[in-house]
Structure 1
Amino acid sequence: MAATFSDANANGVVYMGDLHKRTSTFAGWERLRHGKLHWFVECFAEAMGVFMYVYAGVGSQAVFVIGNLSKQTGLSSLLQIGFAYAAGIVLAISICSATSGGHFNPCITIVQMLFKGFPPLKGLRYITAQILGGYIACLLIYVQYRTTLLELQAAIPPATLAAIQFTPNGPAGIFGLYLLPGSTLGTAFLNEFVTDFFLAIVIFGCIDPSNVLVPPAVAPFAIGLAYALAIWGFSANGLAANAARDVGGRLAALTIWGKDAVGPYPGYCAIAALTNIPATILGAIVYELVFVDSDRVVAQVHREFHDIHALHRRHGPAALANNDNHSNSSGMHEKEHVGTVERV
């Protein structure tokens, strides 16, 4: 079908609707999703993004643990797990971020609330959706591998299984994150904090519109690579890196194995779930103080990325500029936020 220009755009902006006319059913749903159900669609995108990240990474972990328990070589490796998480992150950002903004991590949502004016109620919805996405991914992976895991658990002597079950080397360790035997809580905290701080600097550097060396199309791959490096270098010491993955996986383990899935070191639960929050906040502050420069030129590719979101037909700042009341058809208040519009 030949491209046509929307009559509403004097500058020749082409909307998806100009190229592809949707059926009345989908068009009606689209009006609804931009109105009363906008929050549901955004939360679904956040949950789906975390689902992709966790489904890819934990699936590779499952094969790794199963291979070790069954003494089969070549099923997976730390290298493969790192690549799996990286691929999941690339897919999550590439597919889901245009709908929700692409947080996919509670600590990123918290930073947006603290420093970027992200609405607190919306932030709570996002965090809930993120954890739910990780939880569903882990449960589905368990169902897919349930027969194999049950067979392995039946074949392992009870005393041996009890010793490894709630460790990174046991079946429950596929889903819940547990302290490495012989490690200390202090070491685990330091490992988690430093690694998460490193990841935060990379994330904020990748989304910095004045960073000409990381155009928007490269950002998903750069962020995915950073997570892969973190896994390759520091997961042996115990690494969560994302509270949605940790809490979602822990809830899945509790659902499957009961309260024993808390693990032998309950204090580690707090370290794995919460450490990335202060580490990411510190990373955001350091990046703002050291690396952000308001006098740098924003590259054309970043301006185009911004404009694509700003020119959204219904909810972009450009659309609101033509509306004296700054309200949409459902009467909901709109708040501009970093080139996109955040619905309160």
Structure 2
Amino acid sequence: MRLLTGKRTLIFFVIAAVYLFHGLVFASSGGEEAEAAEALEVLLSLIVILLGAKLGGDFFERFGQPAVLGELVMGMVIGNLHLLGFNGFEGFKNDVPLEMLAEIGVIILLFEVGLESTIKDMMKVGLTSFLVAVFGVIAPFLLGWWVSIFFMPEESIYVHAFIGATLTATSVGITARVLKDLGRSTTIEARIILGAAVIDDILGLVILAVVTGIIDAAAGSGSVSSLGILWIITKAILFIVGAIVIGSLVLPSYFKFGLRLKVKGVFLSFALLVCFGLAYLAGEVGLAPIVGAFAAGLILEEVHYRDFQHRGEHSIEELIAPIATFLVPIFFVRMG
């Protein structure tokens, strides 16, 4: 009990020191020090977010719940302190550097989860994932439509359709993190869920394009383009096929070239290049970048980089883990 009380006292003083530091730094920063003050604010936000993430995660894990729930709850607490009269952390909500770190964090998370499966593993659950994805799009679309009719019966059918379409979006980042926290990310069920989330992202784009086209047509400013919808589907398929081709044909030569470089960190850097490259391409074709990161993890199989491990390198999972430990909680606290 004394140890627990001591820990609580230490935490209280740390938080109090952070509050005091925040007030002293930003009350004294002038125009010439604006840039330096911005950098300090990013550092302060990282202190608060990482501390809150670990405290919240530890609390929920003590009750057998995934740590991500604690991170989300701490995000909600930090984001609503203004209701208690403290506005010191309001800048976190619109902090661009913090937002970038958060986005990179969720990309790393999906890359990390993708590394735990292979293309063959995902193909085995392909049909099941497709059925789950279709139901996961149709059900929220219809429920959103009906709930909209119930609460807003005076609105037009286009409003109800648009609300239904917005509910087809999913948060694969939270799904992946919960599965990982529970130690279930390598199970068949997890592969079905994650495969469905990728397909869901494509179907969601199609539905949004159809509904937007119908609304534009009704307003007289456009029409539903069959070619546009077909192009969305084609881009998604080309991306998936392209990722598989990269994995089977390009990566072996890619990592052999990396073996010729003698500088430190080549293996990790080359793996991250694949992750960020496919995340970028996914964003360019209209998919979520995290879908590209997940695909990058799937196509990186041990056979491609075995020579790196033969010369004493750690596995990709071991190299990525510290980066994920730092960046992933930022995403979930900020989301909360």
Normalization by structure 2: what TM-score? Answer: 0.29
Structure whose residues are more often helix by fraction:
2
Normalization by structure 1: what TM-score? Answer: 0.29
Which structure has more relative contact order (CA 8 Å, sep 6+)? It is 2
